[in-house]
Amino acid sequence: MALLNFGGVEEHVVTRNEFPISKAKEVLKNETIAVIGYGVQGPAQALNMKDNGFEVIIGQAPEFKEDWDKAIKDGFIPGKSLFSIEEAAAKGTIIQYLVSDAAQRTIWPKLKPYLTKGKALYFSHGFSITYKTQTGVIPPADIDVILVAPKGSGTSVRRNFLAGTGINSSFAVFQDATGRAKERTLAVGIAIGSGYLFPTTFEAEVFSDLTGERGVLMGALAGIMDAQYKVLRNNGHSPSEAFNETVEELTQSLVRLVDENGMDWMYSNCSATAQRGALDWRPKFRDATLPVFEDLYARVKDGRECARVLESTSGTNYRVELEKELKELRESEIWAAGKTVRSLRPKS
């Protein structure tokens, strides 16, 4: 492991220098990795491992025809590398449980009989294990239970891999029955294309992940965009101007500077007027939102957000209701304006 300094706090991380792909292949040379679920993370992780030369099979319920057909389109062959969930779980030695959190609870009784001694059960989210009293996902004592959580969507995992960069991931071992759990975890983490891996626990991963998704990464981001756009429109600004000042400049310019070299770098590359305003208003937004984030984290920690997820995503009409909410978001003026603005971007 490499010892890195994060603003005065030291952490150990694993890079491809310490754990190259050749070492991962040695560790996994006798393993068959069964990817259960070909929805969001499944395709990216499976294809990256396949391209890296690992033994990968898919377990997907055939009745979910869209995902089944996608696996075939991606080169997995029914009866050879594409199977039902039960068949894949029986054949696999490392079982990647990559269906949705709600589906993990539903499918668990079907999967558990195939988790025989010495196998590894792999997650990319700590949800089912951390909230096991609510999900009922309690693994047998004689298997490894491990986690590699890419810090991005499946689309980003695949795109970064194809670009040759990789995405950073966290890793954890919940249960080490074989004495090989950690090396299996790191090997799979490298196999799926991680740029580097940093240690966590199942609990810490899910607490930070649920907070991040509901907060800065998605919920808070969309919420403050809605608020600023509304204020601009209510004060007579056009949809294109309101959208450009709220979203387009952020995504097409400023975030790229943050990504390049940090927030201070972005500030230093903006006007003195922008710098002064941002520095003055940053603590106001921090203090205004801090109670919201504290409430959010408390709800994640005590399981209320877990209960909300399981209740809302387990209904028979969940996808219909979800599409209604997404349609409302998609057709709101800010994102309708965004569609038009995006169409005006110069084509490369």
What is the residue whose two structure tokens read 């009866």? Answer: 79
- What span, in angstroms and rounded, lies between the C-alpha atoms of 219 and 214? 5
237 counts as catalytic: no
Going by C-beta distance under 8 Å and a sequence separation of 6 or more, which residues neighbour residue 174?
129, 145, 146, 147, 201, 202
User: Coil, strand or helix: which one is 217?
Assistant: coil
Catalytic residue chosen out of the listed positions 50, 105, 125, 233: 125
Going by C-beta distance under 8 Å and a sequence separation of 6 or more, which residues neighbour residue 117?
140, 142, 143, 177
What is the residue whose two structure tokens read 């949800």? Answer: 127
Cβ-based burial of 15 (10 A; exposed 0-12, middle 13-18, buried ≥19): middle
Active site amino acids: 125
